[in-house]
Amino acid sequence: MVKEKVDCIDCGTEYCPCKLAESGECILCSQLQGKCFCDCLNWKGVCIYQEFHYNGMKAKEGRKAITCNVISSEIIENELIMIKINAPHKLALDLVKPGSYIFIRTDENHFFDVPISIMSSDIENNIITLVIEVRGVKTKRLKDIKAGGTIVIRGPYWNGIFGLDNVLGQRDGNCLVLGRGIGLAPMMPVIRKLVANKNEVDLYADIIPFKNNFAKKYVEEFGIFPRQTILLDKGKLSEEGRFIIRNSIKDKNIKLIHLAGADILTYSVIEYLDELDRGDILLSCCNNFKMCCGEGVCGACTARFSGHRVKRFCKLQSDPRSIFEGRRLI
């Protein structure tokens, strides 16, 4: 039997053990799932059960909401806002990692908490940059944010991308990044990490539904010049997309593809790589599950898999291929 590789994004952090451990639902620890033997799903150098025991058999306190000052809020194009926030230094440091996100709201009503990916976290000046696509009730309120005002932040959270180990373990290689729409924002910390690990990164950006590539200036700071393309055509991987992947594999021997877009993009690329019989190419992608609490409690991010398994994707870290296997997307 092949054991599926799973991990909990919070394991070993100051937020572990969490409420899941208290209720016998820990993602990794068999003892905190009510079993009487030790069979940790993914040993990360820390015993969650021991931490739980030392903490008086209860969960750690968890993330707090804090009020931060807004440095600037700019409508960069129709329904697209860029916000810069002054954050505490510790939070700015915690939000540098690929996949980082926070919940934000404009007032005390926590029903309006909305998860937003970090586009960049400047640890010298403690400035967090977010780009938000205005889509619904929660994001419409964010249009009211003004420079000099305040915003309520809850975080840090880190499970904004799947295949995180593939990104962190990639060194001195060639990587391909395919970004689309608002996915260009959470793509930035991934590119930053890949460049820091001395990888050569090729970026192809499909800016639909926007008019301009809002991330262009930021990626160029890393010496990467994005090429504009169309990646999806009628819900399928476009001819251009296929051409880019096929040639990048042939000419550059790419080891990793990061997919910064909707699930349909990730799913189409996995299908195409299967067609090419290139299951060896590592993948990472955006976590597009709907999130509400981020703490494994509300159930908004859950999906059901074979064997009556329920997975909480605000916490569970896994490889994109195992997440998309057998799931219906449209």
Rounded to a whole number of angstroms, the distance between the first and last alpha carbons of the chain is 31
In whole angstroms, how close is the CB of 242 to ligand FES at the nearest point? 34
Burial of 213 (0-12, 13-18, 19+ CB in 10 A): middle
In whole angstroms, how close is the CB of 157 to ligand FES at the nearest point? 9
Query: Strand pairing of 174-180 and 256-260?
Result: parallel
Burial of 290 (0-12, 13-18, 19+ CB in 10 A): exposed
Of 63 and 255, nearer to ligand FES (C-beta) is: 63
In whole angstroms, how close is the CB of 248 to ligand FES at the nearest point? 34
263-275 and 239-252 are packed helices; what angle lies between their axes, rounded to 10 degrees?
A: 60
Of 38 and 310, nearer to ligand FES (C-beta) is: 310
Of 24 and 88, nearer to ligand FES (C-beta) is: 24
In whole angstroms, how close is the CB of 284 to ligand FES at the nearest point? 20
Of 235 and 299, nearer to ligand FES (C-beta) is: 299
In whole angstroms, how close is the CB of 295 to ligand FES at the nearest point? 6
Of 20 and 281, nearer to ligand FES (C-beta) is: 20
Of 20 and 190, nearer to ligand FES (C-beta) is: 20
In whole angstroms, how close is the CB of 196 to ligand FES at the nearest point? 29
Distance of CA 133 to CAs 114, 117, 156, Å?
Answer: 12, 11, 20
Give me the residues that bind ligand FES (CB under 6 A), please. 291-294, 296-301, 312, 314
